[in-house]
Structure 1
Amino acid sequence: MEQMSRVGSSFRRCSLGTSSSHISIQIDNDAESVSEAGDIGDRALPSRRYSDRSSFSLSFDNRSETGAVVSIQDVENLQLCPAIFHHNASVLPLPPQLTSPPSTNAIVAPKQEFGKGLPMFLDYASCLLHLSVFGILGVLTRYILQKLFGPGVAGVTSDKTILYLDLPSNMVGSFLMGWFGVVFKADISHVSEHLAIAITTGYLGSLTTYSGWNQKMVDLSVSGHWLFSAVGFLVGLFLVAFSIIFGVETAKGFRWLLNEMNRRAGIGSFKINWKMDSYSHQLAVMVLLLVLLGILWGVIGALVKAEFKHSDRDAQLWFACMVGPLGVWIRWFLARLNGRGLGRTGLLKWIPFGTLAANISAASFMAALASVNKAVNSKDSNTVVAGLQFGLMGCLSTVSTFAAEFNAMRKSNNSWRAYAYASITICVSYSIGILIYCVPVWTKGFDR
């Protein structure tokens, strides 16, 4: 049974499926599915999950001596991942069912037509376009929320308190992640996988930022407010965790309401039947996004050039919008590490290493840019550094995905992992930020 559990785990690691829409072997250890709660990067693309040829699956009523159920689709995955057969230098035998023809009680699933959408390279390009456009929208929304709740309007947030400027956007993004990244993600993915990626990874990932949160707590520390920075992390974690819980619960309530309305109308449960999976539809959307991104970058580039010498704040925003998509792309590629673990054995696969690497690296570069800006201390450097921090680093890091992973771990059989994961993220990024930013400020005597 232990051998088959390892086989099932390897099958699932090598599967290129994503979210709640794919079928996988159920195993006792939920570490991998929990660590993939937020994002799995390019493994979510249909072109990575399925081959270009049509395929079918067989499932068997009878079980092997080990009690495991294995499908023909899983056997096909062995061709993509031969390492499944090698565990501690031993070769695992195939189950008895797979060494003989299917029995009469086998259930043949209907043939599924994969590959009727875009080819792989266009599929990648389309996904990058989705991420770019929605990433820019996320940056703009984060800026609006900063201004709305900041000192200039509502006065709720400030650079000098534990209620940092990006707190409202992190809370709103985490709340929306509960709706569109948890409860309704499968419905959106049914319509379009690219749309689901664009909303969760692109828009919500860019709307929220971990690096900005970490840097504000580091700024408090360099001013001597160590207690405030510690409380700021605790308060921030509580608020984003509560936000995604509130989002999930309200989304479940809305889904129940839709199901109840459909039931009374005699329609049945709520379900989206429309699916944008044809080549022509996907190509049309890709061209539309390409034109839209070209217009956005053209306008943004002109605004950066016009505002660079006149308005620091406006120039920072438009420069951030220009470089923001690069941060989204990097985070999306790093997300493929989620659920993989370390090494061939998948050590610590409950840790979303992709999200962890994105948040820690963004926080580290954020601190480095702040330190460089302190040393140079000029108007032009302030504009460039602030734009890179708000756009590139802000989009590279994410709180909405972090909150989704934290919430999934908290609800799993090993709830302690949620707090261990949060502690690792916060402690490592904060420590590196102290070394990169605070130490130069203290030793060189930069103006604080």
Structure 2
Amino acid sequence: MDHNRHGHEMASSLSFGRTSSTGSSVRRHSLNQTALMPLNIDDNMDSESVSEAGDVGVRALHSSHYSLSGSLRFDSNPSENGTVFPIQDTLLHGYGSLSDNPGLLHIGSLVAPPAVEIISRAPINALSDRPNETKDELEPLPLWMEYCSSLTHLAVFGILGVLTRYLLQKLFGPSVAQLTSDGTVLYLDLPSNMVGSFLMGWFGIVFKKDISKISDYLAIGLSTGYLGSLTTFSGWNQKMLDLSLHGKWHLSFLGFLLGLFLSAYSIICGIETAKGFRRLIRSTKGGSGENSRTTNSWRVDTFKRHIASIVVMLLLLGLLWAISGTLLEEEFDDHGSEAQLWLACIVGPAGVWIRWFLARLNGRGLGKTGSLKWVPFGTLIANVSAACVMAALATTKKAVNSKNCNIIATGIQFGLMGCLSTVSTLMAEFNAMRESQHPWRAYAYAIFTIALSFGLGVLIYDVPVWAKGY
């Protein structure tokens, strides 16, 4: 009785949450009142906020496979009322402890079984708003199916991001608007980095939870897949290396400064306009009840709907790859200028997948103690490594200097490296750090990423070109 009483007291202090899709893969914030949190874990909360702002990555699948949302869910009395309330994993750092009995987990004075047992005992109506669905339809997805759905969404939206980035280059480049070009601080990828950062404020921050209510995999595809591939850090870094190669170091510095400033304010503008649009929607007639019914009708939260979603995404991926392969063969034989684009569409998904897997490192810190948790090491590694490989491919193009080598190297640069690196996620993390209790971390993180990438790029690209005289 005491345990149940304390459980209800804790539940009243926390926001109640419901899993929006079976086997959900995106961890959601569910703690609204931080008064319960000890002061000594405020830094952990900041680190968690930064981690959630960027790519969650494959680590969400492993946790969500057992807890349905990546955060433990406890049922104070599932046999009676099925009440399920979530507790962030950061809360466990302050309150939680494993007892002598490994089958129990102590949260303050609340003693609960492991999440696996709780979920298996929770009534099925706690997992769906449609009580007429059968239990089999609402069973959690197998882990391999979660991987398949995540990877296909990432691949399809990644290819769409590559195509959008190419269109923006052409639209704002020398051939049309003549606003951007090589050899200036207004580099070719600046519009895509600004547009992607702006849209990240909308669909990757403000409306991400709303999109997750329909499908967590759609949220992953839009933020990590599309917006991550629409923006590119390695392309930005390479353009600044090209400027430094010709001795224009001041333009390289201005290019980084201008690019960081415009991208940072693009995501701020995106967040503020999205919040304004959200307030406008809530103030319209009909309110949240109508929106909730519409969301429920579109929600992908049954086994059949997940299968249908996977099939559709596989068909789209196969179609995109087939079209890209056919056009690549035609353009490559004719040495056409579009060959690099179609090669980029073929190899681009691999870059998204690698970045998604690396995102598991975000928010974990270094070593067993988890030091420097506030640094998103997954995003940092993705951006720096992509910038280095991009520089190496640029050196290779100058050394070989053949048409076929240029097409292949440029296609890999634009697709694989462009999708492996990201500015939209970098800006989301930058903005989260800037609004945390330690705003200096945002500038330290951005400066370190840029300085490390540019410094290694000079060694990989500028020095060999100067030494060999390519």
TM-score range, shorter chain: 0.7 to 0.9
Instruction: After TM superposition, list the pairs within 5 Å mapping 1:232-247 onto structure 2.
Output: 232-247=255-270
**2:387 counterpart of 1:373:** no
**CA-atom RMSD, angstroms?**
3.0
Q: 1:209 aligns with which of 221, 232, 240?
A: 232
Q: 1:41 aligns with which of 57, 79, 92?
A: 57
Residue identity opposite 2:42 in structure 1:
D
Residue identity opposite 2:226 in structure 1:
Y
Asked if 2 retains the 8 angstrom alpha-carbon contact of 1:175 and 1:243, the reply is yes
Deviates more, 1:266-275 or 1:366-375: 266-275
Corresponding residue SS for 1:341: coil
Distance 2:68 2:289 in 1: 34
Asked if 1 retains the 8 angstrom alpha-carbon contact of 2:335 and 2:403, the reply is no
Q: Over residues 86-129 of structure 1, what are the superposed CA-to-partner deviations in whole Å (9 max), with x where a residue is unaligned? A: 9xxxxxx956625699xxxxxx9976449624311011011101
Q: Over residues 200-239 of structure 1, what are the superposed CA-to-partner deviations in whole Å (9 max), with x where a residue is unaligned? A: 0000000000000000001100010000000100000000
Q: 1:194 aligns with which of 217, 239, 242?
A: 217
1:418 aligns with 442
Q: Over residues 230-283 of structure 1, what are the superposed CA-to-partner deviations in whole Å (9 max), with x where a residue is unaligned? A: 010000000000100000000000000000004xx4655954334211000010
Q: 1:20 aligns with which of 28, 51, 61?
A: 28
Stretches of 4+ moved more than 3 A in 1?
16-27, 52-56, 71-75, 83-86, 93-96, 98-101, 108-115, 265-274
Q: CA deviation at 1:23?
A: 5.2
Corresponding residue SS for 1:57: strand
Residue identity opposite 1:132 in structure 2:
A
Change (3 A) 1:282 1:238: same
Corresponding residue SS for 2:66: coil
Corresponding residue SS for 2:373: coil
Distance 1:95 1:309 in 2: 65
Change (3 A) 1:17 1:416: farther
Change (3 A) 1:95 1:335: closer
Q: 1:389 aligns with which of 396, 409, 413?
A: 413
Distance 2:425 2:112 in 1: 44
Residue identity opposite 1:20 in structure 2:
R
2:177 aligns with 154
**2:351 counterpart of 1:322:** no
Instruction: After TM superposition, list the pairs within 5 Å mapping 1:31-180 onto structure 2.
Output: 31-45=47-61, 48-51=63-66, 57-58=74-75, 94=106, 97-98=109-110, 112-113=126-127, 116-180=139-203
Aligned length: 401
Q: Over residues 56-103 of structure 1, what are the superposed CA-to-partner deviations in whole Å (9 max), with x where a residue is unaligned? A: 62469xxxxxxxxxx89789x99xxxx9769xxxxxx956625699xx
Distance 2:87 2:160 in 1: 39
Q: Over residues 150-199 of structure 1, what are the superposed CA-to-partner deviations in whole Å (9 max), with x where a residue is unaligned? A: 00110000111000000000000000000000000000011111000000
Change (3 A) 1:354 1:56: closer
Residue identity opposite 2:193 in structure 1:
N
For normalisation by structure 2, the TM-score amounts to 0.79
1:65 aligns with none
> Structure 1 stretches of 5 or more lacking a match?
1-15, 61-70, 87-92, 102-107
Change (3 A) 1:19 1:443: same
Give percent identity, aligned residues only.
59
Residue identity opposite 1:323 in structure 2:
V
Asked if 1 retains the 8 angstrom alpha-carbon contact of 2:98 and 2:106, the reply is no
Residue identity opposite 2:306 in structure 1:
Q
Change (3 A) 1:438 1:379: same
Distance 1:140 1:157 in 2: 18
Q: CA deviation at 1:22?
A: 4.7
Q: CA deviation at 1:20?
A: 3.3
**2:415 counterpart of 1:400:** no
Change (3 A) 1:126 1:96: closer
Distance 2:361 2:67 in 1: 24
Q: Over residues 300-347 of structure 1, what are the superposed CA-to-partner deviations in whole Å (9 max), with x where a residue is unaligned? A: 111111110324421000000010000000000001110111111111
Asked if 1 retains the 8 angstrom alpha-carbon contact of 2:244 and 2:252, the reply is yes
Asked if 2 retains the 8 angstrom alpha-carbon contact of 1:406 and 1:418, the reply is yes
Distance 1:254 1:58 in 2: 36
Asked if 2 retains the 8 angstrom alpha-carbon contact of 1:56 and 1:109, the reply is no
Residue identity opposite 1:97 in structure 2:
S
1:432 aligns with 456
Q: 1:223 aligns with which of 226, 246, 262?
A: 246
1:442 aligns with 466
Residue identity opposite 2:363 in structure 1:
G
